[in-house]
Amino acid sequence: MVDRRALARIASAATVLTMGGVGYAALARSRNPYYRGPVTDHFDGVRFHRPGHDPEKGLLELARWQLSRARGRGSWPARFPSPFAAYPAERVEGLRVTLVGHATILVQAAGLNILVDPVWSERVSPTRFAGPRRVNPPGIAFDDLPPVDAVLVTHNHYDHLDVVTIGRLWERDMPRIVAPLGNDTIIRAYEDAAAVDTLDWGGGLDLGEGVSLHLEPANHWSARGVNDRRMALWGAYVLKTPRGTLYLAGDTGYGDGDIFRAVPERHGPVRLACLPIGAYEPRWFMQPQHMNPADAVMAFRDLGAQEAIGIHWGTFQLTDEGIEQPPADLAAALAEAGIAPERFAAFRPGQVWEG
């Protein structure tokens, strides 16, 4: 008989290993299975890195976190339904942003439909039977999606790169897929016909209709397993549209704020920033790779954005804070900074912003 509890523990541990910030240098392959390219200031021939930023933790730190989780873990219900549900128009000539859930965003701009980090799967895990599970359905049902012209992937963690969903999108719409270096190999291993454009930090491309995108650094990392850490690049997108510029963080730590201050210097004013505000406790473990709401408010100010929406919370339990802690902490951080709360809202699945 299969011990499903044991299998669940194994799957949960695998999720922690690939999403929680644990370094496995001793298990690393000498050759990168995803990407081969010249050595740069952020690629040593095998692994990518952000100069001056090291998010990695060791096994002892992982054990310390896991042993303390029972007494430090906040409350998460089995279901946390959103009060919103979106039924997007087929095309929008202006600018509309809908949170589908977690970090999945539909951007409708200048008649184009662009999905960021699309995840419609029930779990974000190396396995389908265990690991973090949705506590609310996607804010847009898959069958209600308009035709998708482009898919943007920020990095390869399971809560951002869902190859099953990308396969469904490819079969339905054959969208243009854009990802940081090395992630094309992961996508094509599942959907071999998929066409994927890859970008390095500082790279960009034109999506047409006056819309362009640019890949910028993020304080994060990548892994699909225990022996491929940082072998595919990660990043944040700047999306320029006729109605304004969007900053799409995906997932990042704050660091010293330089990555955010550089955006308006390189790309001009930011109309809307989509910033992660969840998956941040315990702080001693998560700080290098995940912003908390106070960090997100500092990033918002560094970007000089007119408005922001808080993402990456309330759908999958990845860390220790309670499910409703991020919006409460965001409200406190905004009040401390003297920023009107309507300028930076913690979005729920299906909630829509229009500019």
Please say if the pLDDT value at position 61 is more than 90: no
Provide Rg for the chain, Cα atoms: 19
Q: Model confidence over 207-227: pLDDT tens digits?
A: 999 999 999 999 999 999 889
What domains can you pick out in the chain, each with its CATH number? 95-354 (3.60.15.10)
DSSP secondary structure letters along 64-133: HHHHHHHHHPPP--S----S------S--SSEEEEEEETTEEEEEETTEEEEES---SSB-SSSSSSS-B
Question: Which pLDDT score is estimated for 71?
Answer: 61
Q: Which residue has better confidence, 23 or 300?
A: 300
pTM: 0.91
pLDDT at residue 12 is higher than 80: no
pLDDT tens, residue by residue, 149-178: 999 999 999 999 999 999 999 999 999 999
Instruction: Answer yes or no: are the C-beta atoms of 148 and 175 closer than 8 Å.
Output: yes
> Distances in Å between the alpha carbon of 203 and those of 185, 257, 286?
19, 21, 28
Residue 124 confidence (pLDDT): 96
pLDDT of 70 above 70: no
Q: Count CB neighbours of 126 within 10 A.
A: 17
Q: What is the mean pLDDT of residues 111-119?
A: 98
The pLDDT tens digits for 29-54 are 459 999 999 999 999 999 999 998 87
Cα–Cα nearest to 107, from 209, 204, 248: 248
Beta strands per DSSP E along 181-300? 196-199, 204-208, 211-216, 236-241, 244-248, 272-276
Least confident piece of the model among 3-17, 87-101, 146-160: 3-17
What pLDDT score does 60 carry? 77
**pLDDT exceeding 70 applies to what percent of the chain?**
89
Any idea which of 19-28, 116-125, 268-277 has the lowest mean pLDDT? 19-28
According to the model, what pLDDT value does residue 28 have?
41
For the chain, the 3-state helix, strand and coil shares in percent, each to the nearest 5, are: 25, 20, 50
Q: How confident is the model at residue 25 (pLDDT cuts 50, 70, 90)?
A: very low
